[in-house]
Amino acid sequence: MRHITLSQAVNEAIAEEMRRDLTTFLIGEDVAEAGTPFKVLAGLVEEFGPERVIDTPIAEPGFMGIAVGAALTGSRPIVDLMFGDFLYLIMDQLCNQAAKAYYMSGGKLNVPLVLRTNLGATRRSAAQHSQSLHALVAHIPGLKVAMPSSAYEAKGLMKTAIRDNNPVVILEDKLMYNDKAPVPEEEYLIPFGEAHVKRAGTDITLIATSSMVQVCEAAAETLAAEGISAEVIDPRTLVPLDEATLIESAKKTSRVIVVDEGHQSYGITGEIAGRINEKAFYHLDAPVLRMGAMDVPVPFSPALEDITVPTPEGVTENARKLMSGEMIHAA
């Protein structure tokens, strides 16, 4: 099978869907000739023209609101938000308008819209261009949230997102744009709400999102050499969440670590750990561990930034402690 980058995968998914459905269009800052700073959208304006690949002024709430209005009236916009950190700028349009329209109208108005943005630290971009804010949107009823962990997921989830009749936030890890993975030539879609068991195991479950899947796969490799069999599961979508697959794995292995790049407090790791505690409590041999990003603004200095996010070494060490029965308490 051919290998393509995550960036190419996203580009292909959008191009295929824009060919398939003429009501789709791309809108955002520097999406046309520039193809975004990450060049993910390069070439699309040449194929679809400036009417469907629309460069906007630097006005995130404005173009987000415009996309909501277009979606409410029969278009299917794909909104490009250059950095996930800018979610704070568009919260009213996303959370008060897009997320609630279907419910508030009693099912009469819906908002088929994709908001594609990114997450991920360790790019030396400091506190306002490095955040992983998916927990903010996953908290809001009415928004679906997808987090691809490789080029394969990036393509399949994007295609599903564009065809979904609801607002979908899809967050790509900006450090993974050049990572290659096998991606079939033929068309495929990845359904929402279906977790993927990346690596089967029997001793401990590592539930990981986005780039943390790579981190956990590396940890699993090290653990395997030590005789510990780790299962790595990627939920792929946070909303809807495939709780059944996660619970089933927790019951099987009896030990779980949840790894995510969002801040640890009040985040995804706590949510998933809570569900496992509620539904697999009597099967557990150890407390479910959370590993998120540190609860600090992302620092600029590489010496500091690198210690704020979970690493393969950190996951490996925590897995060993869980396996040895060592009780772990938060500092």
Please report whether residue 191 would count as binding other proteins according to CB under 8 A: yes
SS3 204: strand
Number of residues counted as binding other proteins (CB under 8 A): 51
Give the angle 212-219-295 at the CA atoms, nearest 5°.
Answer: 45
51 touches other proteins by CB under 8 A:
yes
Asked if residue 37 has a cis previous peptide bond (ω within 30° of 0), the answer is no
Could you give the CA distance from residue 83 to residue 68 in angstroms, rounded to a whole number? Answer: 19
Binding segment for other proteins among 4-12, 35-43, 161-169, 256-264 (CB under 8 A)?
Answer: 161-169
By DSSP bridging, strand 180-182 and strand 204-208 are unpaired
Cα atoms in the Cβ-side hemisphere of radius 13 Å centred on 159 = 18
Does the footprint of other proteins cover residue 30 (CB under 8 A)?
no
Q: Does 59 bind other proteins (CB under 8 A)?
A: yes
Report the residue from 3, 19, 46, 165 that binds other proteins according to the rule CB under 8 A. 165
Cβ–Cβ < 8 Å for 145, 137: yes
User: Is residue 129 flagged as an active site residue?
Assistant: yes
Catalytic residue, from 12, 17, 29, 129: name it: 129
Residue 185 as a binder of other proteins (CB under 8 A): the answer is no
Query: With CB under 8 A as the contact rule, which of the stretches 49-57, 123-131, 208-216, 306-314 interacts with other proteins?
Result: 49-57
Shortest distance, position 262 Cβ to other proteins, whole Å? 23
What is each CA distance from 177 to 147, 151, 181, 192, in whole angstroms?
13, 8, 11, 22
What the block records as the tokens of 316 is 């490996």
Closer residue to other proteins in complex, CB, 33/92: 92
Residues 268-307 that bind other proteins (CB under 8 A): none
Among 72, 195, 212, 219, binds other proteins (CB under 8 A): 72
Are 192 and 169 a contacting pair, CB within 8 Å? Answer: no
Distances (CA, A) of 294 to 79, 108, 297: 29, 42, 8
Which of 12, 17, 60, 271 does the annotation list as catalytic? 60
> CB count, 10 Å around CB of 46?
11
DSSP code at position 23 = T
Q: Which of residues 93-152 bind other proteins (CB under 8 A)?
A: 93, 96-97, 101-110, 112, 141-142, 144
Closest CB 80 distance from other proteins, rounded Å: 15
134 is annotated as an active-site residue = no
Q: Is residue 292 helix, strand or coil?
A: strand
Q: State the catalytic residues.
A: 60, 129
| Interface with other proteins (CB under 8 A) | 23, 25, 51-52, 56-57, 59, 61-75, 77, 92-93, 96-97, 101-110, 112, 141-142, 144, 160, 163-166, 186-189, 191
